[in-house]
Structure 1
Amino acid sequence: MLSRASILSGRQVRSLVAHTTKACSATSSPATKDDGPMFRRPVRQEPGKVRLGFVPDEWFTFFYKKTGVTGPYTFAVTFSTYLISKEIYVMEHEFYNGLSLAIMWIAGIKILGPKLAKYLDKEIDDYESQWNETRTVNKDTLQEAISDEERNQWSMEGQNMLIQAKRENVALQLEAAYRNRLLAAYEEVKKRLDYQVEKQNIERRIGQKNLVDWVVKKVKASITPDQEKQNIDSCIVALGALASKA
C-alpha cells in the first residue's frame, strides 16, 4: 500500500518538477543590453499555487470547462469510491499506517511548515543576494577596468599630440638654425663686400692724393722766382684795393 502511494507521489513530484521547469524556461527574463542578444538570464520562480497542501491548482482548473467548480472534487470522490469498491485500492493495515502518517505529516506541515518555509525563503533570499552582490561587484570591477582602458586610450591620444608638438618644436628649431646660418652667411658676405668697397675707396683716395701732389709739385716746379714775385705784388695790390673799398 505504501509502495503504491510512494510511486504515485514520486510521479506527482516529477510531473510538478517538469511543469515548474517548463514554466521557468517560458517566463525567463528577456535579453537585455548588458546580457547580450543571445543570453536570457533565468529568474527564480515562486512555487505555483496548490490546493490541499500539495495538489497543483492546474489539476482543478482542468475540469472547470467541462464540469464546473465542483468537478475536481466530485471526480476525486467517485474515483476513490470506485477504487475502494472494486478493491483495487485495498484498505489493509498499511492504509491505516499511511493514514496516521499522513495525519502526522499534515499536522507537522501546518505547525512547522510556515516557520520552515520562512527560514528557507530567507536562506534563498540571502543566497540570491550574495550572488547578486558578487555579480554587481564583478560588473563594477569590469566597468572600472573599461574606464581605466578608456583613460589610457585618452592618455595615448595626448601622447600622440605631445609627440606632434615636439616634432613641430624641432621643425621650428631647425628653421631658426637655418635662418641663423643664412644671416651669418649674409653678414660674412657683406663684410667681404664692404672690405672690397673700402679697399677701392682707399685706393681711389690714395691715387687722387698722389695725383694732386704730383700736379702741385709740377706746378711749383714750373713757377720761376720772378713769376712768384710778380704774383705776390699783384696780390698785395689786390688786397690794398680791397682794403680801400672797405
Structure 2
Amino acid sequence: MLSRIAARSLKDAKPCLALIRPTHTTPVNKAEERDEANFPRPVRQIEPSKVRMGFIPEEWFQLFYKKTGVTGPYVFGAGLSTFLLSKEIYVMEHEFYTGLSILIMVVYAIKKFGPSIAASLDKGVDEIEGDWMKYRNDTVQNLKQAIEDEKKAQWQAEGQSVLFDAKKENVALQLEAAYRERLNTVYKEVKQRLDYQLETANVKNRVEHKHMVNWIIDGVRSSITPAQESAALKQCIADLKNLSKA
C-alpha cells in the first residue's frame, strides 16, 4: 500500500532542478591563507576583564557613554530598578533577602578566599601550560635534531660517492701496479733467457778460440826442429847481450 502511494506521488510530482553544492576534496592549507595582521590568533587572557560594582562589565558602560554620556549607565540602572520595583514586576519577598544574604556571604568568601584560590588555580594552569610548552619545545628540538641528522645523512651520502670514486681509483692503481709488475717480470725472464743465450755463445766462442790457439801453437811447435830452436835461443841470447851493452 505504501509503495503504491509513493509511486503515485512520484508520478504526479513535477520535475524540479536539484542544486548540489560542489565539495572540494583538495586539502587547503589554512595556515597560509590566514590574515595574521587583521585577524590575529586569539591569546589566552591572563587577567579578567575590568568590571564595576563587582559584576557589571566595563564594556556596558563604554557602550552607554557614546549615547548617554557618563551618567547614562547609572541613570538607566536606577530607573530600570525603580520601574521593576514600583510596578511589582520584581517582588521583594523573603527569597530576595535570602538571596541578598547569600550574595553577601559569597562576596565575603570571594574577598577572603578568592586570592588564594585564584593563585592556586593560576599555579595549576601555569603548570599545565608549562608542561605543554615543555612538550612543544621538546618536540621542536627533536624535529630540529631530526632535520640536522637528515642533513648530516645527506652529507654522508654525498661523501659516499666521493669515497666510491676514491675506491675505484685505488682499484685502478692496484691493477696498474699489478700490470707493471707483470711487465717487469716478463722483462726479467726474457732478459735472463737472452743473457743465457749470449753467455752460451760467448762460452762457445771462447772454447773455439782456445782450441784454435792451442791447435796453432801445437802446430807451430811441431813444425820447429831442435836445430831451429837452438839457433833461435842463441839469437835471443845475443840480442839480450846487445841490449845490455846499449
TM-score normalised according to structure 2 size? 0.66
- Once residues 236 and 96 of structure 1 are traced to their aligned partners in structure 2, the CA distance between those partners, rounded to angstroms, is 181
Structure with greater helix percent:
1
Stretch moving more, 125-134 or 202-211: 125-134
Q: Aligned-pair distance for 1:146? A: 5.4
Report what 1:206 is aligned to.
Answer: 207
Report what 2:130 is aligned to.
Answer: 129
Report what 1:31 is aligned to.
Answer: none
Aligned residues: CA RMSD: 3.5
- Once residues 118 and 217 of structure 2 are traced to their aligned partners in structure 1, the CA distance between those partners, rounded to angstroms, is 145
Q: Deviations over 1:84-121 (max 9, x none)?
A: 33443333444333333333333332333333223322
Q: Aligned-pair distance for 1:239? A: 2.9
Partner AA of 2:195 in structure 1: D
Stretch moving more, 105-114 or 164-173: 164-173
- Once residues 84 and 38 of structure 1 are traced to their aligned partners in structure 2, the CA distance between those partners, rounded to angstroms, is 54
In 2 relative to 1, CA 236–117 (structure 1 residues): closer, same or farther, beyond 3 Å?
closer
Tell which has more relative contact order, 1 or 2 (C-alpha 8 A, sep 6+).
1
Q: Deviations over 1:205-226 (max 9, x none)?
A: 1222222222223333443444
In 2 relative to 1, CA 241–107 (structure 1 residues): closer, same or farther, beyond 3 Å?
closer
- Once residues 191 and 50 of structure 1 are traced to their aligned partners in structure 2, the CA distance between those partners, rounded to angstroms, is 116
Report what 1:44 is aligned to.
Answer: 44
- Once residues 114 and 59 of structure 2 are traced to their aligned partners in structure 1, the CA distance between those partners, rounded to angstroms, is 22
- Once residues 104 and 93 of structure 1 are traced to their aligned partners in structure 2, the CA distance between those partners, rounded to angstroms, is 17
Q: Aligned-pair distance for 1:60? A: 0.8
Instruction: Report whether the alignment pairs 1:113 with 2:114.
Output: yes
Report what 2:26 is aligned to.
Answer: none
In 2 relative to 1, CA 101–233 (structure 1 residues): closer, same or farther, beyond 3 Å?
closer
In 2 relative to 1, CA 241–69 (structure 1 residues): closer, same or farther, beyond 3 Å?
same
- Once residues 199 and 53 of structure 2 are traced to their aligned partners in structure 1, the CA distance between those partners, rounded to angstroms, is 131
Q: Aligned-pair distance for 1:134? A: 3.6
Q: Aligned-pair distance for 1:165? A: 5.7
- How many residue pairs get matched? 210
- Once residues 175 and 206 of structure 1 are traced to their aligned partners in structure 2, the CA distance between those partners, rounded to angstroms, is 46
Stretch moving more, 195-204 or 223-232: 223-232
Stretch moving more, 52-61 or 91-100: 91-100
- Once residues 163 and 117 of structure 2 are traced to their aligned partners in structure 1, the CA distance between those partners, rounded to angstroms, is 68
Q: Aligned-pair distance for 1:203? A: 1.5
- Once residues 137 and 225 of structure 1 are traced to their aligned partners in structure 2, the CA distance between those partners, rounded to angstroms, is 128
- Once residues 143 and 227 of structure 1 are traced to their aligned partners in structure 2, the CA distance between those partners, rounded to angstroms, is 121
Report what 1:19 is aligned to.
Answer: none
- Once residues 92 and 54 of structure 2 are traced to their aligned partners in structure 1, the CA distance between those partners, rounded to angstroms, is 23
In 2 relative to 1, CA 51–230 (structure 1 residues): closer, same or farther, beyond 3 Å?
same
Partner AA of 2:121 in structure 1: L
Report what 1:32 is aligned to.
Answer: none
In 2 relative to 1, CA 50–192 (structure 1 residues): closer, same or farther, beyond 3 Å?
same
In 2 relative to 1, CA 217–95 (structure 1 residues): closer, same or farther, beyond 3 Å?
same
Report what 1:237 is aligned to.
Answer: 238
TM-score normalised according to structure 1 size? 0.66
Partner AA of 1:124 in structure 2: V
| Secondary structure of residue in 1 paired with 2:118 | helix
Unaligned runs of at least 5 residues, structure 2: 1-30, 35-39
Report what 2:102 is aligned to.
Answer: 101
- Once residues 38 and 207 of structure 1 are traced to their aligned partners in structure 2, the CA distance between those partners, rounded to angstroms, is 111
Stretch moving more, 88-97 or 136-145: 136-145
Q: Aligned-pair distance for 1:123? A: 2.4
Stretch moving more, 161-170 or 230-239: 161-170
Partner AA of 1:190 in structure 2: K
Partner AA of 1:237 in structure 2: A
Unaligned runs of at least 5 residues, structure 1: 1-35
